[in-house]
Amino acid sequence: MANATPSRIGQANLSGATDALFLKVFAGEVMAAFAETNLVLPYVNTRTIASGKSAQFPVIGKSTAAYHVPGTEIVGTGIAANEVVITIDDLLLSQVFLASIDEAKNHYDVRSIYSSELGKALANTCDRQLLQMAVLAARSAARITGEQGGSVITDSNAATDSNALVADIFTAAQKLDEKDVPTDNRVCFLLPAQYYALAQNTKILNKDWGGAGVYSDGKVLRVAGIDIVKSNHVPNTNVTTGTLLSGTGDKYLGNFTTTVAVVFQKNALGCVKLMDLAMESEYDIRRQGTLMVAKYAQGYGVLAPHAAVEIKTS
């Protein structure tokens, strides 16, 4: 009796490694899950470096104007400048070990679930650390002498009164305007409790008021021209030293127990990527399974504190 010829669905064009397609699909699902889950990175200035441990971001001050006196020489005026150095954090990993017997029995379901979880784990950590850095930016002094630092709005009712929160967001927009922060790419991140409180506020949704949102869908689009984004990762705890969320060297350390929301513009934060999101896998014959690792190496820092506003209760 002749042997059957198996159809190896993980093999490309019936040749080569029998798991080649599985690994590519797995990596693609990890990246898709990361992109879908990650909310903050699009609102951050991002640079990619090929090597090194840090990158410099220039910070340029404002020029001045003056009337010219006939006959006087024009020699130029100095514009203050500084730089911000953002260092790369240690390699961040999310990993899973797939036993061969499990893959044989139920490969697709296991792969889809695991790939999604790897991507989400990295995306969530990225969001948490960036939002912590955004709050720290609002608490920071100016990077250039004579310029303004971040802003903090203290309102005891911000967490429980949607009208108060709306007023605070308008105040945040005013502060950004007064500091000549561009109006594009402004965003406010809120926890679900405060987001849904806004979604029930008629001032925000009422079309006669110029509101933007959908009550039936529980969606809030903008307040004071600022995009409103719901996230579970707005910091509201005391991030202590030596933890994952405090980052390498405790860069993202802080007490955020009274933070309600953070408003910032894209110029506020910087991200440096040394190793973008990538996947590695290796079959271990000793353990009869495949180890899959999702990873990235990047770091975050404050570029323009004046472009960030924290809203807190005390």
Would you tell me how many other CB atoms lie within 10 Å of the CB of residue 165? 26
* pTM attached to this predicted model: 0.83
Torsion angle in degrees (nearest 10) through CA of 152, 44, 88, 96: 110
Domain ranges of the chain: 20-61+85-312
Give the residue-averaged pLDDT of 126-140: 97
Q: What's the pLDDT tens digit per position in 73-97?
A: 887 877 777 888 999 999 999 998 8
| Residue 267 to residues 26, 135, 176, 213, 254, Cα–Cα distance (Å) | 34, 14, 12, 26, 21
What's residue 143's pLDDT?
85
Assigned CATH class of 20-61+85-312 = alpha beta
Mean pLDDT across the chain, nearest whole number? 85
What's residue 208's pLDDT?
42
Sign of the CA dihedral running 30, 33, 39, 45:
positive
